[in-house]
Amino acid sequence: MRKSSDPGQMTLLDLISPQTRTCERCGGTILPPTIGGVPRGTCHCGPQLVPVVKSEPKECCKKVIGAYERDYPHAERAKAFGVASVNRGSRVALFCGACTARLEFAGTWIREGGL
Protein backbone atom coordinates (compact mmCIF):
# COMPACT_ATOMS: atom_id res chain seq x y z
CA MET A 1 0.00 0.00 0.00
CA ARG A 2 1.45 3.33 -1.02
CA LYS A 3 0.72 6.48 0.86
CA SER A 4 -0.48 9.43 -1.15
CA SER A 5 1.83 12.39 -1.59
CA ASP A 6 -0.70 14.49 0.36
CA PRO A 7 0.84 14.81 3.87
CA GLY A 8 -2.60 15.33 5.43
CA GLN A 9 -3.99 12.00 4.20
CA MET A 10 -4.19 9.22 6.82
CA THR A 11 -4.09 5.51 6.14
CA LEU A 12 -5.32 2.69 8.37
CA LEU A 13 -1.75 2.10 9.58
CA ASP A 14 -1.63 5.68 10.84
CA LEU A 15 -4.50 4.88 13.21
CA ILE A 16 -2.44 2.26 15.08
CA SER A 17 0.50 3.48 17.12
CA PRO A 18 3.82 1.68 16.47
CA GLN A 19 3.89 0.38 20.06
CA THR A 20 0.64 -1.59 19.63
CA ARG A 21 1.60 -3.30 16.39
CA THR A 22 2.97 -6.31 18.27
CA CYS A 23 1.04 -8.44 20.75
CA GLU A 24 2.55 -8.45 24.25
CA ARG A 25 1.34 -12.00 24.88
CA CYS A 26 2.43 -13.91 21.78
CA GLY A 27 4.74 -11.42 20.02
CA GLY A 28 2.65 -11.60 16.83
CA THR A 29 1.92 -8.65 14.58
CA ILE A 30 -1.38 -6.79 14.80
CA LEU A 31 -2.48 -5.18 11.56
CA PRO A 32 -5.64 -3.18 10.92
CA PRO A 33 -8.59 -5.27 9.72
CA THR A 34 -9.53 -5.43 6.06
CA ILE A 35 -12.42 -3.38 4.74
CA GLY A 36 -14.66 -6.41 5.31
CA GLY A 37 -13.52 -6.60 8.94
CA VAL A 38 -11.36 -9.72 8.66
CA PRO A 39 -8.49 -9.59 11.19
CA ARG A 40 -4.96 -9.61 9.81
CA GLY A 41 -1.50 -10.26 11.22
CA THR A 42 0.12 -13.16 13.05
CA CYS A 43 -1.54 -12.53 16.43
CA HIS A 44 -4.57 -14.72 17.04
CA CYS A 45 -5.02 -13.98 20.75
CA GLY A 46 -8.06 -11.81 20.11
CA PRO A 47 -9.10 -8.52 21.66
CA GLN A 48 -11.38 -10.20 24.23
CA LEU A 49 -8.45 -11.44 26.31
CA VAL A 50 -7.43 -9.57 29.42
CA PRO A 51 -3.77 -8.62 29.92
CA VAL A 52 -1.64 -11.49 31.19
CA VAL A 53 -0.36 -11.13 34.75
CA LYS A 54 3.27 -12.18 35.25
CA SER A 55 4.41 -13.40 38.66
CA GLU A 56 6.70 -15.76 40.52
CA PRO A 57 5.93 -19.50 40.05
CA LYS A 58 3.63 -21.07 42.67
CA GLU A 59 4.41 -24.34 44.44
CA CYS A 60 2.49 -26.38 41.84
CA CYS A 61 4.48 -24.64 39.09
CA LYS A 62 7.76 -25.39 40.88
CA LYS A 63 6.91 -29.10 40.77
CA VAL A 64 6.47 -28.91 36.98
CA ILE A 65 9.77 -27.02 36.64
CA GLY A 66 11.55 -29.53 38.89
CA ALA A 67 10.21 -32.48 36.89
CA TYR A 68 11.35 -30.84 33.62
CA GLU A 69 14.86 -30.11 34.91
CA ARG A 70 15.16 -33.60 36.43
CA ASP A 71 13.76 -35.66 33.52
CA TYR A 72 15.01 -33.73 30.49
CA PRO A 73 18.77 -34.32 30.05
CA HIS A 74 19.37 -31.21 27.92
CA ALA A 75 17.36 -28.78 30.05
CA GLU A 76 20.26 -26.43 30.83
CA ARG A 77 21.36 -26.31 27.19
CA ALA A 78 17.80 -25.61 26.00
CA LYS A 79 17.33 -22.84 28.57
CA ALA A 80 20.62 -21.20 27.60
CA PHE A 81 19.72 -21.35 23.90
CA GLY A 82 16.30 -19.81 24.55
CA VAL A 83 17.66 -16.94 26.63
CA ALA A 84 20.28 -16.12 23.99
CA SER A 85 17.68 -16.09 21.20
CA VAL A 86 15.91 -12.91 20.16
CA ASN A 87 12.81 -14.89 19.17
CA ARG A 88 10.47 -15.42 22.13
CA GLY A 89 9.24 -18.66 20.55
CA SER A 90 12.67 -20.22 21.11
CA ARG A 91 12.44 -19.93 24.89
CA VAL A 92 11.64 -22.91 27.09
CA ALA A 93 7.96 -22.81 28.01
CA LEU A 94 6.02 -25.26 30.19
CA PHE A 95 2.37 -25.63 31.17
CA CYS A 96 1.21 -26.13 34.74
CA GLY A 97 -1.98 -28.16 34.60
CA ALA A 98 -2.83 -27.53 38.26
CA CYS A 99 -3.18 -23.74 37.96
CA THR A 100 -3.35 -23.50 34.11
CA ALA A 101 -0.37 -21.14 33.97
CA ARG A 102 2.29 -20.80 31.29
CA LEU A 103 5.85 -20.99 32.64
CA GLU A 104 8.61 -19.40 30.60
CA PHE A 105 12.35 -19.33 31.21
CA ALA A 106 13.83 -15.92 30.38
CA GLY A 107 16.87 -15.98 32.66
CA THR A 108 14.54 -16.85 35.53
CA TRP A 109 11.24 -18.72 35.54
CA ILE A 110 8.22 -16.45 35.00
CA ARG A 111 4.62 -17.52 35.54
CA GLU A 112 2.06 -16.03 33.13
CA GLY A 113 -1.68 -16.17 33.68
CA GLY A 114 -3.32 -19.07 35.43
CA LEU A 115 -5.63 -19.22 38.41
Tell me the Ramachandran region of residue 107: left when phi exceeds 0, alpha when psi lies from -120 to 50, beta otherwise: left
Total-model pTM: 0.57
* Domain residue ranges of the chain, discontinuous segments joined by +: 1-49, 54-112
* pLDDT-derived band at 114, boundaries 50, 70, 90: confident
Structure confidence by residue, pLDDT tens digits, 24-49: 777 777 777 777 777 677 777 766 55
Structure confidence by residue, pLDDT tens digits, 74-107: 999 999 998 888 787 788 999 999 998 999 998 9
